[in-house]
Amino acid sequence: MKKLVLGNWKMYKTFSDIQGFCMEFNALLKKDKLFNKANIVVGIAPTYVGIIPFGSCNKTPTLTMAQNVNAEVNGAYTGEISFNMLKELNVKTVLVGHSEVRSHLNESDSVINKKVLTLLKEGMTPVLCVGETLQEFEANKTIEVLNQQLHSDLANIDLSNVENLVIAYEPIWAIGTGKTATNDIIEKTFVEIKKILKTILGSNIDKVSLLYGGSVNDKNAPEILRVKNVDGVLVGGASLDAKKFYSIIKSVPEYSQAKVK
How do residues 56-112 score in pLDDT, each as one tens digit? Answer: 999 999 999 999 999 998 899 999 999 999 999 999 999 999 999 999 999 999 999
- Give the pLDDT of residue 179: 76
Torsion of CA 38, 246, 171, 105, to 10 degrees: -110
Average pLDDT over residues 197-225: 96
- Give the pLDDT of residue 177: 76
- Give the pLDDT of residue 180: 73
- Give the pLDDT of residue 178: 74
Q: How confident is the model at residue 133 (pLDDT cuts 50, 70, 90)?
A: very high
- Give the pLDDT of residue 256: 83
Please choose, from the candidates 133, 13, 120, 2, the residue with its C-alpha nearest in 3D space to the C-alpha of residue 61. 2
Q: How confident is the model at residue 259 (pLDDT cuts 50, 70, 90)?
A: low
Average pLDDT over residues 35-43: 94
Rounded to two decimals, what is the model's pTM?
0.96
- Give the pLDDT of residue 261: 53
State the angle between helix axes of 142-153 and 109-121 in degrees (0 to 180), rounded to the nearest 10: 50
Return the number of other C-beta atoms located less than 10 Å from residue 221's C-beta: 24
Catalytic positions, written as ranges? 98, 170
Average pLDDT over residues 186-212: 97
User: Do residues 146 and 192 touch, judged by C-beta distance below 8 A?
Assistant: yes
Average pLDDT over residues 183-201: 97
Among residues of the chain, what percentage have pLDDT more than 70? 99
Question: Is 260's pLDDT higher than 60?
Answer: no
User: Do residues 160 and 203 touch, judged by C-beta distance below 8 A?
Assistant: no
Return all residues near 10 (Cβ < 8 A) that are at least 6 apart: 47, 67, 100, 236
- Give the pLDDT of residue 163: 94
**Residue ranges with strand state E in the chain:** 3-8, 40-45, 63-64, 93-96, 125-130, 166-169, 209-213, 232-235
User: Do residues 64 and 55 touch, judged by C-beta distance below 8 A?
Assistant: yes
Q: How confident is the model at residue 51 (pLDDT cuts 50, 70, 90)?
A: very high
Largest Cα span, the chain: 54
Average pLDDT over residues 114-135: 96
